[in-house]
């Protein structure tokens, strides 16, 4: 019997992971622990409200007593940890909350698990992490699992620290752990502070499309469901103590990606080609902007047979379709605090 604690399950990737596990594994009890910050949204999970193997608890991972109580009450057997402050730009303006949640919050969860679990062989602590821990690539090369850590933003430094803590609990206490470091995800329910949903929303509203610097930075894009399938595989079949890189093999310069989005949204809205592109604006670059991320995912492919199934054209098409069909969701998440964030960040 597994009672799996999924943290951050009301966020973008977390909501897809929770939905996948609740539906695919009816014998598992899924407890979604989420503080419901600006990035957590119960609307991402309305379809699960009646599922009888699903529970949501509104708890901050920094709250030691509350986290311990959840472990006890639900007899938690495993953890899939996604809760985090996740947006690089916010980490530049307000680093401390990233350190509190991503480092101390992770330590708090690890400690709760250590206190609760008596036989580590029977339990898994899985940390969902990022490729940004490896730093920034030049024009060539790929991040491998052995690439030395070189985080360069407060966000990536906090995620690197949390990875190290997870490994420390493995080496020091013998906890069974798994870590995955994944590239940029996109898909439904992503908060519109991230590039893809922000650009879609701005195209719909006929606003300027902000591209940092000259738009030549490169990211490797992965459709969120492909990430979810990888998490499922690593959780069930990955080797104890190991790290797996996950990537889409879909490198795009930011400007090229924004062009693709412009064409896709214009086409789906029936607007003339070139309409959205005319609103692209090059804006001040992100401080310390990592140039290029690219993943060597050969380990997870060879050991676990994982392959990304969705190419960028298909994934972007589905994503744009979802945002256009869910205008109410988009309106609600961009009212209130989002307006202040947008003003401060984009002027
Ligand atoms: P997100 O910002 O959309 O969601 C984060 C979730 O964590 C929200 O539901 C939020 O309410 C919750 N949360 C934040 N602080 C919390 C706290 N103190 N206690 C409890 N819950 C808290 O993030 P995301 O993009 O879905 O990313 C999820 C995880 O995957 C993160 O750990 C992130 O570092 C990692 N990751 C993200 C990407 C990506 O492209 N988005 C890629 C690789 C790895
Ligand atoms: O690589 C994985 C990481 O991907 C995750 O760990 C992070 O949680 C996630 O936020 C993401 O980080 P990025 O900084 O790469 O994603 P973001 O969507 O913020 O930006 C993607 C690229 O687009 C980046 O080069 C910055 C650029 N950008 C972003 C925004 C928001 C713009 O040019 N304009 C924008 O307005």
Domains in the chain, please, with CATH?
3-190+221-251+291-312 (3.40.50.720)
Q: How far is the CA of 39 from the centre of ligand 1 (A)?
A: 8
Residue closest via CA to ligand 2's atom 14 equals 88
Residue-wise pLDDT tens digits, 117-153: 999 999 999 999 999 999 999 999 999 999 999 999 9
**Percentage, residues of the chain above pLDDT 70:** 100
- DSSP class of residue 143? B
| Residue 155 annotated in active site | yes
Q: How far is the CA of 120 from the centre of ligand 2 (A)?
A: 36
Pocket test for ligand 2, best of 37, 88, 248 (most atoms within 8 A of CB): 88
Torsion sign, CA atoms 213, 215, 216, 219: positive
Among residues 138, 323, 310, which one has the least CA distance to residue 226? 310
Residue 347, pLDDT score: 85
Can you name the residues that pair with 79 across neighbouring β-strands?
5, 125
Least confident of 148-157, 223-232, 257-266, 329-338: 329-338
- Provide Rg for the chain, Cα atoms: 20
Report the mean per-residue pLDDT for the chain: 97
Contact 70, 33 (CB under 8 A): yes
Contact 254, 211 (CB under 8 A): yes
Among residues 295, 35, 71, which one has the least CA distance to residue 180? 295
Residue-wise pLDDT tens digits, 241-261: 999 999 999 999 999 999 999
Ligand number nearest CA of 190 is 1
Q: How far is the CA of 88 from the centre of ligand 2 (A)?
A: 7
Q: What is the pTM of this model?
A: 0.99
Q: Which atom of ligand 2 is nearest to the CA of 86?
A: 8
Residue closest via CA to ligand 2's atom 11 equals 184
Q: How far is the CA of 162 from the centre of ligand 2 (A)?
A: 20
């Amino acid at each position: 019997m597994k009672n799996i604690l999924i943290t951050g399950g009301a966020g973008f990737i977390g909501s897809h992971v929770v939905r996948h596990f609740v539906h695919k594994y009816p014998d598992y009890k899924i407890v979604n622990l989420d503080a419901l910050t600006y990035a957590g949204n119960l609307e991402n999970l309305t379809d699960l409200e009646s599922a009888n193997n699903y529970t949501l608890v509104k708890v901050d991972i920094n709250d030691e007593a509350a986290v311990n109580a959840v472990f006890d009450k639900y007899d938690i057997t495993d953890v899939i940890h996604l809760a985090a402050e996740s947006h690089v730009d916010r980490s530049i303006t307000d680093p401390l909350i990233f350190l509190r949640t991503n480092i101390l919050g992770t330590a708090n969860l690890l400690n709760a698990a250590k206190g609760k679990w008596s036989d580590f062989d029977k339990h898994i602590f899985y940390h969902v992490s990022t490729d940004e821990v490896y730093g920034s690539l030049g024009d060539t090369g790929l991040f491998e699992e052995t690439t030395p850590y070189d985080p360069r933003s407060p966000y990536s430094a906090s995620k690197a620290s949390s990875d190290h803590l997870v490994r420390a609990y493995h080496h020091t206490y013998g906890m069974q752990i798994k870590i995955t470091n994944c590239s940029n995800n996109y898909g439904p329910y992503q908060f519109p502070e991230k590039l893809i949903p922000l650009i879609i929303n701005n195209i719909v509203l006929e606003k300027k499309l902000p591209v940092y610097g000259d738009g030549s930075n490169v990211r490797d894009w992965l459709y969120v469901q492909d990430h979810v399938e990888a998490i499922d595989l690593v959780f069930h079949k990955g080797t104890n103590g190991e790290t797996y890189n996950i990537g889409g093999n879909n490198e795009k310069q930011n400007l090229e990606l924004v062009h693709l989005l412009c064409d896709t949204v214009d086409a789906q809205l029936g607007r003339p080609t070139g309409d959205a592109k005319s609103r692209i604006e090059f804006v001040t670059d992100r401080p310390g902007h990592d140039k290029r991320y690219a993943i060597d995912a050969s380990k997870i492919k060879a050991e676990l047979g994982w392959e990304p199934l969705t190419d960028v054209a298909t994934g972007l098409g589905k994503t744009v379709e979802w945002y256009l069909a869910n205008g109410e969701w988009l309106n609600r998440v961009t009212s209130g605090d989002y307006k202040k964030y947008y003003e401060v960040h984009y002027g």
